Amino acid sequence: MDFDILHWNKKIWQNILNVEIVYAAIIYLILGATQAHSEFFTAGLLLIILALNRFQDKNQTLKYCAVWGNIIILPYEFCSVWSITGNFLLFKLPIIAPLTILILWLFWLVLLVPIVMTSADYIKNWFLRLIAFSFLDCQYGMDIALQIKHLPFFHTFNDQGVVSAFALLILACFLGYSWGYRFNPNLKFVPSRKFKWSVFIALIVLLIIDVWWNDFGGNGDNLLSILFSSYVDLQAKYFTLPNFTSALEPGILEEAERYIWMIILLAGFNQFKEWRVPIVVYGSTLLFALSHLSNVGVNGQTFLATISQVIAVSGAMIWAVAYLYTGKLWITMIAHFFTDYLINLQSGWASSSTWSGSFADWATTFIPLIFGLAVTIWMMYGDRRQVMEENADRLLNMNSYQTLTMLDVMAR
């Protein structure tokens, strides 16, 4: 067998997926016999999906059912079986718990890859791809079912979603590859004739200003004070591992999500050459902002505070244009990480957004949006736009990267 997994054919991936389905079905049969009879239904459903995969080449209807059955049902069930297996092993083998967790994490990182490599390429429509990705993007939040609170170091990385963030980044690489695009989301640096270092430096400076203002600005009760005053209140008590990991997770996970949204929209609207880049930037920003609606109720955050947050984080469209201009996803990951981490160092990772309806609240809601929009509009014209267009073309190139090391994915 060729050990370069990007060269594995669909039959190999299908065999791996079948093994996962059979294992999950066995676990649910055992649970049905020993705990809840309702688990027999889940086992039966998995066996039906296994049969659909076995006979999917018979006709298009079976193929359609197999593909969507894999994408809609299997991710959740695989994640559930992973936590059930993990908790059983941790209970039975507590003496080797750290080793068990590391092995479980290795499986978690690639758990859903066989689903992608057997099913994702059959989905061509951009809207259906968005729906498919919403089902595949399920590991974050399900990882907390692993009961490891008695191991604080491992618990922090697991329950803060860091491992799931890396799992999604790997999944994003394979997802793009399965659709015929790049495996590596980071473009190799090949400067365009239109590329200007002055624009690159200006963009980095604007990213730094954006991070600084969002973390330390917005103080006072009048517009000038809110715009130009800064207050730094880093506290030693917040220099903890949980505050670090709670910033690392969104920096990786949410930017991996943005990358997938961007290539889906790029491919979906590629025929509209004059509009595809604006659609990608504003469309991915809208999806990014709306994803924050899930923060309602988290740590007591109110609905109005969440709406304010959704509007404010829309200013992160600056990160989308930064990615398209530089071709480096790790740049936006770093900006995202520091935006969250510097806030954590001032108020702790468990803090939430607030809303009182004051002038300062309104200002800090819309200033980030206006700033991000202004930078984005500036980037949409002239040579700057041309560089983004060229990088958009490169993102949709045929596969050219042949390795699966995370160092390669992050460094190129």
Tallying the residues shown for the chain, one arrives at 412
The reported pLDDT for the residue numbered 401 is 33
The reported pLDDT for the residue numbered 189 is 77
**How far apart, in whole angstroms, are the C-alpha atoms of residue 216 and residue 233?**
8
The reported pLDDT for the residue numbered 216 is 95
406 pLDDT above the threshold of 90: no
6-45 pLDDT per residue, tens: 788 899 999 999 999 999 999 999 999 998 888 999 999 9
Instruction: Give the type of residue at 380.
Output: M
**How far apart, in whole angstroms, are the C-alpha atoms of residue 334 and residue 244?**
13
- DSSP code string of 70-91: HHHHHHHHHHHHHHHHHHHHHH
| pTM of the complete model | 0.91
Which of these ranges, 83-97, 174-188, 265-279, has the smallest mean pLDDT?
174-188
218-245 pLDDT per residue, tens: 988 899 999 999 999 999 999 999 999 9
Provide the mean pLDDT of the chain.
92
401 CB contacts (<8 Å, ≥6 apart)? 6, 182, 183, 184, 408, 412
Span 302-319, mean pLDDT? 95
pLDDT band at 412 (very low <50, low <70, confident <90, very high): very low
322-343 pLDDT per residue, tens: 999 999 999 999 999 999 999 9
400 pLDDT above the threshold of 50: no
400 CB contacts (<8 Å, ≥6 apart)? 182, 183
CB 161 within 8 A of CB 249: yes
343-362 pLDDT per residue, tens: 999 998 877 788 988 999 99
How many C-beta neighbours within 10 Å does residue 155 have?
18
121-162 pLDDT per residue, tens: 999 999 999 999 999 999 999 999 999 999 999 999 999 999
Residue with tokens 């030693």: 236
